[in-house]
Amino acid sequence: MNRRRAQATSKLIVMLVVGLVIGFGATYAYYASAPAGVTKTVTKTETTTKTVTAVGAAKEYTIGFTIPLTGELTAIGTNWKNTIEMAMEDLNEDVASYGLNVKFKAVVLDDKTTPEGALKNVQTLYQSGIKVIIGPAASAQVKAIKSFVDENHVVIISPSSTAPTLAIPDDYIFRTVGSDAIQARALATLAYEQGVRKVVVFHRDDEYGVAFGNFFKKYFEEMGGTAVDMKYAVGLPDYASEVAQLSAKVKEIGADGIVIITFDTDGANILSHAKDDPVLCSVRWFSAEGIHGTPELTKPEIVEFINKTGFYGTRPLFRENPIYKQFASRFEERYGIKPVVFTSNLYDAVQLAGWAILKAEEYDGAAIKEVVPEVAMRHYGASGWCILDEAGDKLMQDYAIWTVGSTPTGYDYVDVASYSGGTISWG
Partner 1 sequence: MLTFLEFINAVWIGSVYFISAAGLTLSYRVTRILNFAYTNMITLGAYLAVILTLNGTGNLLVLIPIVFVAGSLLAIGMHYFVFSRLMSLKATPLMLMASSIGIWIFLKYVYYGIVGYLQRAWKVGLYQATPNLNLDWGLNAYGVELSGAFVASIALAAASILSLYLFLIKTRMGKALRAVADNPSLAEVSGIPSEKVMYVTWFIAGGLASLSGLMWALFSIVTPEVGDSLILEIFAVSVIGGLYSIPMTAFGAYVISGAENLLMPILHDTIGLEVSFRPFIAFFTLLVVILIKPPLGAAGALPYRFRLRRRER
From 129, 224, 336, 427, residue interacting with partner 1 (rule: CB under 8 A): 336
Residue 410 found at the interface with partner 1 (CB under 8 A): no
Pick between residue 232 and residue 311 the one whose CB is nearest to partner 1.
Answer: 232
Minimum CB distance to partner 1 smaller for 79 or for 321: 79
Residue 122 CB, shortest distance to partner 1, in Å, is 22
Report the nearest approach of partner 1 to the CB of residue 340 (Å).
10
Burial class (CB in 10 A: 0-12, 13-18, 19+), 31: middle
Q: In angstroms, what is the minimal distance from the CB of 390 to partner 1?
A: 33
Asked if 295 is part of the footprint of partner 1 (rule: CB under 8 A), the reply reads yes
d(Cα 130, Cα 125) in Å, to the nearest integer?
5
Q: Does 46 bind partner 1 (CB under 8 A)?
A: no
38 binds partner 1 (CB under 8 A): no
Closest contact distance (angstroms) between CB of 170 and partner 1 is: 33
Contact stretch for partner 1 (CB under 8 A) within 2-10, 233-241, 351-359, 397-405: 233-241
Q: According to CB under 8 A, which one of 241, 282, 326, 425 is a site residue for partner 1? A: 241
The end-to-end CA distance of the chain, in Å, is: 86
335 binds partner 1 (CB under 8 A): yes
Cα 424 to Cα 65, 185, 186, 189, 368, distances in angstroms = 35, 11, 8, 8, 37
Phi, psi at 342, each rounded to 5°: 75, 0
Of the residues 36, 38, 60, 74, which one makes contact with partner 1 according to CB under 8 A: 74
Q: Which of 146/231 has CB closer to partner 1?
A: 231
Regarding 116 and contact with partner 1 (CB under 8 A), the answer is no
Distance of CA 29 to the CA centre of its chain: 32
What does the radius of gyration of the chain's CA atoms come to, in whole angstroms?
A: 24
- CB-wise, 242 or 393, nearer to partner 1? 242
Residue 214 has φ and ψ, to the nearest 5°, of -65, -45
Q: State which of residues 39, 78, 123, 420 lies at the interface with partner 1 (CB under 8 A).
A: 78
Residues paired with residue 203 on neighbouring β-strands, in sequence order: 231, 261
- Is residue 106 within 8 A of residue 88, CB to CB? The reply is yes
Per CB under 8 A, the list member of 48, 66, 247, 397 interacting with partner 1 is 247
Number of residues in contact with partner 1 under rule CB under 8 A: 39
Least Cβ distance, residue 426 to partner 1 (angstroms): 29
SS3 18: helix
Binding letters toward partner 1, positions 256-275, x by CB under 8 A: --------xx--xx--xx--
3-state SS, residue 328: helix
Q: Which of 162, 262, 254 is nearest to 202 (CA)?
A: 262
**DSSP class per residue in 49-104:** SS--S--SPPEEEEEEEEE-SSSTTHHHHHHHHHHHHHHHHHHHHHHHHTT--EEE
Distance CA 314, CA 290 (A): 9
If binding is defined by CB under 8 A, does position 66 make contact with partner 1? Answer: no
Pick the binder of partner 1 from 220, 232, 342, 413 (CB under 8 A). Answer: 232
Contact 72, 208 (CB under 8 A): no
Among 124, 152, 245, 420, contact with partner 1 (rule: CB under 8 A) = 245
Report the nearest approach of partner 1 to the CB of residue 88 (Å). 19
Per-residue three-class SS string for 230-280: EEECCCCCCCHHHHHHHHHHHHHHCCCEEEEECCHHHHHHHHHHHCCCHHH
Choose which of 276, 304, 361, 390 interacts with partner 1 (CB under 8 A).
276
* Contact call for residue 391 and partner 1 (CB under 8 A): no
The verdict on 412 binding partner 1 (CB under 8 A) reads no
Q: Is 34 in the site for partner 1 (CB under 8 A)?
A: no
Q: Does 299 bind partner 1 (CB under 8 A)?
A: yes
Contact code string over 196-215 relative to partner 1, x by CB under 8 A? ---------x----------
Q: How far apart are CA 344 and CA 117, in angstroms?
A: 24
- If one counts every other C-beta atom within 10 angstroms of the C-beta of residue 240, the result is 13
Binding residue for partner 1, selected from 193, 222, 238, 390, defined by CB under 8 A = 238
**Cα distance between residue 175 and residue 383, in whole Å:** 12
Whole-angstrom CA distances from 40 to 33, 36, 63, 343, 411 are: 10, 8, 11, 22, 39
Q: Is 237 in the site for partner 1 (CB under 8 A)?
A: yes
Report the interface residues with partner 1, using CB under 8 A: 69-72, 74-75, 78, 205, 230-233, 235-238, 240-245, 247-248, 264-265, 268-269, 272-273, 276-277, 294-296, 299, 335-337
